[in-house]
């Protein structure tokens, strides 16, 4: 949907997302405004507190650095980037992060390879702990599913309406092609990265449960320290800091894109930037539970609005998929031409003169 209803921006690229396809596709500008407000609050404010809290917790666990100091440094660096336009830090971070991600996945896979005989029992433990007889009779299944949905939303953002903001910027010959790429990302993140990390944590001999047990990234750090020595924990601290900080910058741009959808007033943008910097600091010093509970609330609100909107546009999605599959069966590289769909589309502005041409596979 983000691809179909994307618009040209002043730099010659594209921008879009739920606020755009709700306004253009459903002709419900008020709901588009509601979503733009929700995603701005959720990502630029709430999620940035989660990321700064994660960085602060990681540095405090590994090096005993005060969250206040971490918060001040993060706030200053964030302010330099969003006010001063110093993008080199953000660019460097975005270049390093994929490398760190590959190394992290490699480390986790090495740990799993050395414990192959325990992987199947661990998966069994996960399923039994969530859906066993005791859990069913005690009502714990609902809690397990709820927790899975909440953390899954934060991890892969499926259905929440955030990823479409990035997907809309891609230049592709057919919207379905980008949609398939996005769905692959959800599968990879959830089934590979999250599952492997969960099993690695369960292999940790010092794992504890309950309110007094370590929470968040501290558990993963402890597990890596046990499996790979202190080098594992140090690497994770550096990786988490880079992952989280790059997310802070990305979340800010999600927010800015939707602020610009709402208003082009420079004063509003200035106030928005100030709030981002303040909340980055506050997130670092806040309690982890408070930060996550707030994130869960706003993630849910975003998902409700977006899923309702997607259902309203489902006829467009089915028509797009049918057009894509038809062209594939004809041996063509699918190219989107609005006039070829079986339904009439309105609100389309970026596909009027498609530069792509059909070609054989």
Most confident residue range from 63-72, 260-269, 288-297? 63-72
At 12 the pLDDT is: 81
Q: pLDDT band for position 252 (50/70/90)?
A: very high
Do 304 and 76 touch, CB atoms closer than 8 A? no
Higher pLDDT, 291 or 150: 291
What does pTM read for this prediction?
0.83
At 43 the pLDDT is: 93
Please check the confidence at residue 354 and state whether its pLDDT lies above 60.
no
Q: How many CB atoms lie within 10 A of CB 129?
A: 13
Please write the tens of the pLDDT for every residue from 101-118: 888 889 999 999 999 999
| Distance, CA of 104 to CA of 239 (rounded, Å) | 8
At 8 the pLDDT is: 87
Do 156 and 186 touch, CB atoms closer than 8 A? yes
Do 232 and 107 touch, CB atoms closer than 8 A? yes
- Nearest Cα neighbor of 170 from 24, 2, 317 is 2
Three-state DSSP at 211 gives coil
Please write the tens of the pLDDT for every residue from 335-351: 999 999 989 888 898 98
Q: Is the dihedral of CA 90, 234, 214, 278 positive or negative?
A: negative
- Nearest Cα neighbor of 246 from 71, 83, 74 is 74
At 184 the pLDDT is: 85
Please write the tens of the pLDDT for every residue from 119-168: 898 888 888 877 776 666 656 667 777 777 777 777 778 889 988 988 99
Average pLDDT over residues 282-295: 91
Q: pLDDT band for position 62 (50/70/90)?
A: confident
Domain spans of the chain, in order of start = 7-114+151-340
Please write the tens of the pLDDT for every residue from 29-54: 999 999 999 999 999 999 999 999 99
Q: Is the dihedral of CA 13, 356, 164, 33 positive or negative?
A: positive
| Distance, CA of 38 to CA of 16 (rounded, Å) | 15
Q: pLDDT band for position 218 (50/70/90)?
A: confident
Please check the confidence at residue 89 and state whether its pLDDT lies above 70.
no
């Amino acid at each position: 949907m983000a691809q179909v209803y994307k618009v040209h921006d002043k730099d010659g690229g594209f921008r879009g997302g739920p606020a755009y396809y709700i306004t253009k596709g459903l002709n419900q500008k008020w709901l588009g405004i509601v979503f733009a407000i929700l995603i701005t609050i959720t990502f630029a404010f709430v999620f940035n507190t989660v990321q700064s809290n994660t960085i602060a917790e990681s540095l405090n666990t590994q090096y005993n650095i005060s969250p206040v100091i971490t918060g001040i440094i993060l706030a200053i660096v964030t302010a330099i980037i969003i006010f001063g336009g110093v993008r080199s830090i953000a660019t460097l971070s975005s270049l390093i992060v994929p490398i760190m991600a590959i190394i992290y996945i490699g480390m986790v896979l090495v740990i799993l390879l050395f414990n192959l005989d325990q992987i199947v029992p661990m998966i069994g433990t996960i399923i039994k702990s969530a859906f066993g007889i005791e859990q069913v009779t005690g009502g714990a299944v609902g809690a397990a599913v709820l927790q899975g949905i909440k953390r899954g939303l934060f991890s892969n953002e499926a259905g929440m309406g955030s990823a479409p903001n990035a997907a809309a910027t891609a230049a592709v010959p057919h919207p379905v092609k980008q949609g398939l790429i996005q769905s692959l990302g959800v599968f990879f993140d959830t089934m590979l990265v999250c599952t492997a990390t969960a099993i690695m944590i369960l292999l940790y001999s010092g794992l504890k449960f309950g309110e007094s047990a370590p929470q968040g990234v501290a558990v993963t750090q402890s597990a890596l320290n046990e499996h790979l020595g202190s080098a594992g924990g140090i690497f994770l601290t550096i990786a988490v800091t880079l992952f989280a900080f790059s997310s802070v910058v990305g979340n800010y741009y999600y927010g800015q894109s939707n602020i610009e959808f709402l208003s082009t007033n420079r004063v509003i943008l200035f106030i928005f930037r100030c709030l981002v910097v303040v909340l980055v600091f506050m997130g670092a010093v806040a309690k982890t539970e408070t930060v996550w509970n707030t994130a869960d609330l706003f993630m849910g609100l975003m998902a409700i609005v977006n899923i309702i909107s997607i259902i309203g546009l489902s006829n467009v999605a089915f028509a797009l998929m049918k057009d894509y599959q038809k062209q594939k069966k004809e041996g063509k590289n699918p190219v989107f031409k609005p006039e070829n769909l079986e339904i009439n589309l309105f609100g389309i502005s970026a596909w009027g003169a498609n530069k792509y041409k059909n070609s054989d596979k």
